[in-house]
Chain A
Amino acid sequence: MLDPVCKAADERMPEGAAIIRFENVSKRFGPLVVFNNLSLDIPADETLVVMGPSGVGKSVLLKLIVGLLRPDSGEIYFHGCRIDTLSEGELEPIRKRFGFLFQMGALFDSMTVGENVSFPLRQQGIRSDAHIRDVVHEKLSVVGLEGIEQKMPGDLSGGQRKRVALARAIAMNPEVVLYDEPTTGLDPIRSDVINELILKLKEELKVTGIVVTHDMTSAFKVADHIVMLLDGKIIARGTSDEIRTCKDERVCRFIHGRASEEDLKALHRM
């Protein structure tokens, strides 16, 4: 059973308090060290953008939060309740409070779009078909894809799949939404719609968002705070403006998309 402390955590967090907390978290895959004593506070009702080069562990961070991966050492807290030691069964009520947009969408191939979006609703025990139909229609409209309920994921383009996955992630109006590259593969206009949606969810429904992205336009638009990961550690943290004016060369190169001399060495050898 869930720890009583976790049950008590249903009350809303005071503004600015950390809804998710990483304490000295380390994670490695074989010889590859992904995180080395990482500590991070994620405030409630805000959007945190996590950026960093490919392979630095941004998606791993999201998976650690919902227990899809377990840390090798360190502690992870949600609403002050330690969750990295909970069993799969004990994690279920916690996971129901999250929405997760996967990098490649992760839509269920054997289900229609409508069934995909309705999956979390049915999973939470909602039986009314009329209510489910309404919610599915509403969420698909939000991402600009109304009327495709009967299509199969295989019939959709990459961008459409991503938007259906986003509709599924927000179907249950979760408390926290984890966005893994929400605008990758979308045209600039549709990307902006997704950015506006992230802002709207935060402002109207007080949804805490954690956005992993390489899209700097999107990052600066949606972020209350930005953290940059490199070599298993956070090398910069601040508001959009603070990151934009950061003097750290590694951060500057990343946000302006400039390769270092070292990165270009191989090219010069050609």
Chain B
Amino acid sequence: MSAIEKDNSPTEPGWSPLDPITTMGSSIYNAIQGLGDFGRFLGSILHWCFRGPTRMGWRDMMTQMYEMGTRSIPVVMLTGAFIGAVLAIEAYPQFQALGFASRLGSVVVVSVVKQIGPVLTAVMLAGRVGGAMTAELGTMKVTEQVDALRAMAADPIRTLAVPRFLACVLMTPVLTVFSDIIGAIGGWLIAVKVEGVNNYHFWHYASQATDLFTINTGLIKSFFFGVAIASIACYKGFRSGSGAQGVGRACTESFVASFVVILVMNFFLATMLNNIYNIYWPSQAPLF
């Protein structure tokens, strides 16, 4: 170290052994404050959802449903098809070795409908729709459009966030259904057309394993994923920093937060829904 370089050792004047504790305390305080702020924001969205969007809000909601739903179908179906196909490719040798290749349909379809379909669709939407939502609202904030709404006595949450929130919450389960169907077909293509599994057995075991509760499990999850994606994306957009850098950072934070929340939420929802299944149908433990 040269003589003129600054010495950053703990003995430097001004450094206190309490500094790391202060930093940690400050981080915890900010995290709790952020969580509280998000809670209030989500509460405000839910409040306006029950009051209903404005007349313009309903129209905006339809536009958002088209943007989020219809325009996401190709990408969601494409990823769904390949995930179903990969599942079949990976599972076939294992099941073949055990002599259960005919049961491949149940594994592929249940995995897709219950776990992979909802999670993958939600992750795709967090990237495609959540990012766009954060960028749009963040840009509106930095160009004073949000202030203009407030100045005209319009509540920005009711006018901007509620239509996007409702559209996302409604369209996520719909897109999940598309992903599920195409995922099952992707698995079927590999299992039946490539590996030679019997077509009747594939669909027979698939339908036997996929009961109404399994389908509902996937849809309930996707509903909550939709809530998470839309609320996080809108929150990050409204709290975006100034300038292009602020909006860019908000988009990144929005995707990362949504991704983590989706995975954590998936774990807790899976646990909760399996427990509910075990309570109501104790003799029939879910297959997966």
Contact = CB atoms under 8 A, between A and B. Distances in A.
B144 A123 contact: no
B153 A122 contact: no
Given A109-B140, A122-B56, A102 B147 contact: yes
Given A104-B143, A109-B140, A122-B55, A88 B155 contact: yes
A106 B143 contact: yes
Contacts of A106: 143-145, 147-148
A102 B147 CA distance: 9
Given A122-B55, A122-B56, A104 B144 contact: yes
Interface in A95-131: 95-96, 98, 100, 102-104, 106-110, 119-120, 122-124
B152 A123 contact: yes
Contacts of A108: 140, 145, 148
A114 to B, nearest CB: 13
A233 B145 CA distance: 29
A120 B152 CA distance: 6
B151 interface: yes
B151 A98 contact: yes
Nearest to B150: A68
B154 interface: yes
Interface string B132-145: 00001001100111
Interface in B125-172: 136, 139-140, 143-145, 147-148, 150-155
Contact of B153 (A96, A102, A103): A96
A119 B60 CA distance: 13
Contacts, number: 54
A92 interface: yes
B152 A119 contact: yes
Q: Which of B56, B140, B145, B147 has the most CB of A within 10 A?
A: B145
Given A109-B140, A122-B55, A122-B56, A100 B145 contact: no
A147 interface: no
Contact of A109 (B145, B150, B154): B145
Nearest to A69: B147
A95 B144 contact: no
A103 B144 contact: yes
Contacts of A103: 144
Contacts of B147: 63, 68, 102, 106
B203 to A, nearest CB: 45
Nearest to B159: A123
A100 B153 contact: no
A67 B151 CA distance: 8
Contacts of B150: 66-68, 88, 95
A53 interface: no
B57 to A, nearest CB: 11
A93 to B, nearest CB: 7
Nearest to B148: A106
B141 to A, nearest CB: 11
B144 A102 contact: yes
Contacts of A100: 148, 151-152
A106 B141 CA distance: 10
B144 to A, nearest CB: 4
5 contacts: A68-B151, A100-B148, A107-B145, A108-B148, A109-B145
Given A96-B152, A106-B143, 7 more contacts: A66-B150, A68-B150, A88-B150, A95-B151, A102-B148, A120-B152, A123-B152
